[in-house]
Structure 1
Amino acid sequence: MKTLSYSILWVVGLLNANAAFAAAECKSYPKEEWAAEDTLKEAMQAEGYTIKKFKIDGNCYEIYGRNKEGKKVEIYFDMKTLAIVKAIGLKD
């Protein structure tokens, strides 16, 4: 019985840990209203960012890369306005 209780606590702990890294909540738009991916990529590179990975995550554009100081970042953008919805500095 103790093993089951510890297992449940361990799973609950994992779920809570994953909630901290949950994706951003972005507004949904019809695809024809999305800003071009290249527009965002070019703007980020002009600001000194290096993009390692660019993807669509739910209703957000998401990039993984490095900022102009060389620090790892994960940033979520609104697909229509390209406004930053959530930004996370990652440990190297």
Structure 2
Amino acid sequence: MSRCRFIQAQARHYPVRRLCQVLRVRVASYYRWQKKAASQSLVPAWEQALCQIFNQHKRRYRTRRLRAELRAQGHQIGRYRIQ
């Protein structure tokens, strides 16, 4: 478990500043990590559709076919973004 995850888990019981001080983590670094973790958990709809299509076709489709399938579903995405 990383220090930041530990701080996040214990934040209900102890002040964040005190936990950061004890674990020698800058408070700003903790909050930057927290913001980054929150933004990474949001997966765009096109990525979910991409994974579904890719697995549905037994992981054999490449970027051109995947792009065509995604566009048929209404997602405007390019080949290089899929890559």
Q: TM-score, normalised by structure 1?
A: 0.35
Higher helix share: 2
Bigger radius of gyration among the two: 2
Q: TM-score, normalised by structure 2?
A: 0.39
Higher RCO (C-alpha under 8 Å, 6+ residues apart):
1
